[in-house]
Amino acid sequence: MGVREEQKEKRREEILTAGLNLFIRKGYAATKISDIAERVGMSVGLLFHYFESKEKLYEALIALGISGPMSVIAPTDMEPLEFFERTAEQIFHYIQTDPFVAQMFVLMSQAFYNEAVPPSIKELLMGFDIYTPTTLLIQKGQADGTIREGDPYALAIAYWCAIQGIAEQLALNPDVPCPESDWIVDMIRRKA
Amino acid sequence: MGVREEQKEKRREEILTAGLNLFIRKGYAATKISDIAERVGMSVGLLFHYFESKEKLYEALIALGISGPMSVIAPTDMEPLEFFERTAEQIFHYIQTDPFVAQMFVLMSQAFYNEAVPPSIKELLMGFDIYTPTTLLIQKGQADGTIREGDPYALAIAYWCAIQGIAEQLALNPDVPCPESDWIVDMIRRKA
DNA sequence: TACAATGTTGATTATCAATTCAATGAATCG
DNA sequence: CGATTCATTGAATTGATAATCAACATTGTA
């Protein structure tokens, strides 16, 4: 790969990083292409040389998120409670380690819930249902006595929403202390 | 109060309700005045007869939020753990009972964290620091043995972010089941 | 009833931001 | 060294939307 292609790739990444950061702080609609261009230090025209539209740039980020950070959520054959412990731990670890990943989490959940993101992005996110598999896992955990009683779906909501809320807070305020993943798990763990 | 003033007040409330609903789904920037007008069933021009600008409309909502729903958060002279139990319970109760209040919670936290909201709104929200008083309360609870060990600030983050994440989920999806407030408190409660 | 005040509309304007484009400069390749 | 291709810019275009406004309708009142 020549110097030129390297440069191009680097530039693309700079745009993505700047875009991610601005999108999560201001939202898709309020983020101006000129904001991103300025942050990267390039002209607006040039940015369109790298991404054909604001929407495509956003799409590229979401695609990155789907293939990368979100894949930690894939349920395995672990014991139910262990899955929740591991997942929370892993997510919190990433969030503290890698600001890009932290921000990516926020972007994904914003994109998921915000009705203003373009339909093409909604499509990408289709089939990103973490609740169905997790609810099943919770039921299993209740059966084997490791997870507390209660509506399994509601327990899943509590778990994921807590993680999401914390991820958002930390991504936007990197200087606040990170809660421990155990605390989260204690919401759903059966007491001895 | 004449029929006319009543009507006017009612109309104002309709606008506020529609605006709140759209703002939390799409964000401030992506919500068009024409969306709100259409939802209420009035012309755009008329909406400007009731609120002089989009920003003022948003301001009115935030002001409502500050004086109303958010006041449940005011710390009292309760025992620390009891405060957290009561508050979570109360918030969850409101969220399930009154969709307007639920949505208001979401609006407030969105406004708080989103950099795209106008500065005039940021000012309104200044001094809305729930973390400092809560962190103090947590320390007190740790001293009297009712709250678990760990960084008090991080515990406060966990508590509030979990509540905020859940509130957001429920406001946007009124049909999902509501977690129990006790589960949240279990994050910070000292185990027996 | 007729006047005054307020409600209501649709068209109009002004602004702002995404996108396009023609022109310029720099790197690469034969 | 040319010549070709890619990087880069700033200005022009276009589309969208907040806000204004003049005209018309309705209500309340003397």
Distance CA A23, CA A166 (A): 18
- Give the pLDDT mean for A112-122: 95
Pair A92, A56: CB distance under 8 Å = no
- Grade residue A3 by pLDDT with cuts at 50, 70 and 90: low
B16-24, long-range: CB < 8 A, 24+ apart: B16/B57, B16/B60, B16/B61, B16/B64, B17/B100, B19/B57, B19/B58, B19/B61, B20/B61, B20/B100, B20/B103, B20/B104, B20/B107, B21/B103, B23/B58, B23/B61, B23/B107, B23/B110, B24/B103, B24/B106, B24/B107, B24/B110, B24/B171, B24/B172
Q: From CA B91, how far away is CA A151, in angstroms rounded?
A: 19
Note whether B168 contacts A165, CB cutoff 8 Å: yes
Amino acid B2: pLDDT? 62
Rounded mean pLDDT, A146-163: 98
pLDDT band at A188 (very low <50, low <70, confident <90, very high): very high
Alpha helices in A51-118 (DSSP H): 54-67, 80-97, 99-113
Question: Quick one: pLDDT band at residue A74, thresholds 50, 70, 90?
Answer: confident
* Residue A33 near chain B (CB below 8 Å): no
pLDDT averaged over chain A?
A: 94
pLDDT at B166: 97
Least confident interval from A120-124, A129-133, B73-77: B73-77
Q: What is the pLDDT of residue A157?
A: 98
Work out the percent of chain A whose per-residue pLDDT is above 70: 97
In angstroms, the CA B110 to CA B116 distance is: 10
Percent of chain A at pLDDT exceeding 90: 86
**Chain A CB within 8 Å of residue B157 CB:** yes
User: Between A116, A153, A186, which is nearest B177 by CB?
Assistant: A153
Which of B29, B31, B161 minimises the CB distance to A166? B161
The structure's pTM equals 0.93
Q: Is A147 helix (H, G, I), strand (E, B) or coil?
A: strand
pLDDT of residue B3: 66
What's the pLDDT score for residue A133? Answer: 93
Nearest to A153 by CA among A127, A166, A140, A134: A134
- Tell me, yes or no, if A118 comes closer than 8 A to chain B by beta carbon: no
Low-confidence ranges of chain B (pLDDT < 70): 1-4, 75
* B6-14, Cβ contacts within 8 angstroms, sequence gap of 24 or more: B8/B50, B11/B40, B11/B42, B11/B50, B12/B50, B14/B40
Residue A51: which nucleotide is closest by CA–C1'?
C19
Q: What pLDDT score was predicted for residue B48?
A: 97
**What distance in Å separates residue B15's CA from the closest CA in chain A?**
19
pLDDT at A8: 85
